[in-house]
Amino acid sequence: MNGKCLCGAVEFQLDEPLPCLYQCHCSLCRKLTGSSSDTAMFISRDQFRWVRGLDKISSYRTNTGYRSDFCNCCGCTVPHLMGKTSYFWVPAGLIDGELHSQVVAHLHVESKAPWDIIGERGVRFAEMPSMEVLSRLLHESNEKIESNLV
């Protein structure tokens, strides 16, 4: 499955099976997206490949370590390797084609915007769960979804 930024200068490829999605409702993700939440997935390093545009990526970090990588041509948020983990953070909106993943987790619901209405589907976490807990939920849920599609 392929994904790219708004202008197409940064492009990447993902190997299936893809995990399910989460939405983060924290204030930083709201500012990053200009919306109620950020919808994304964590995918293992061995399932991710850059196709082109690494030289077009700039990065911004807050003093707390929050990171945002973006295309320096169109400003679109793009994937990045998450710190010292073996996971890439991938914004769901960049993926081309039909994505069968569903949102199965909502993060930082304690700090969501007062006008944000979270749907009924998905496990809610007051803050950020551990990467192990979140990764297990995203991958196990997708296996259940895929078995129902066959």
Q: What is the DSSP code string of 6-60? A: SSSSSEEEEPSSPP-EEEE-SHHHHHHHTSS-EEEEEEEGGGEEEEE-GGGEEEE
Phi, psi (deg, nearest 5) at residue 28: -65, -45
Give average pLDDT by consecutive 10-residue segment, the chain, 150 residues: 97 94 94 92 94 97 89 96 89 92 94 92 92 88 54
Any idea where the domains of the chain sit in the sequence? 6-149
Peptide linkage before 17 cis (omega within 30 of 0) = yes
Separation CA 69–CA 116 (nearest Å)? 25
pLDDT at site 145 = 55
The CATH number that domain 6-149 falls under is 2.170.150.70
Which amino acid, 31? K
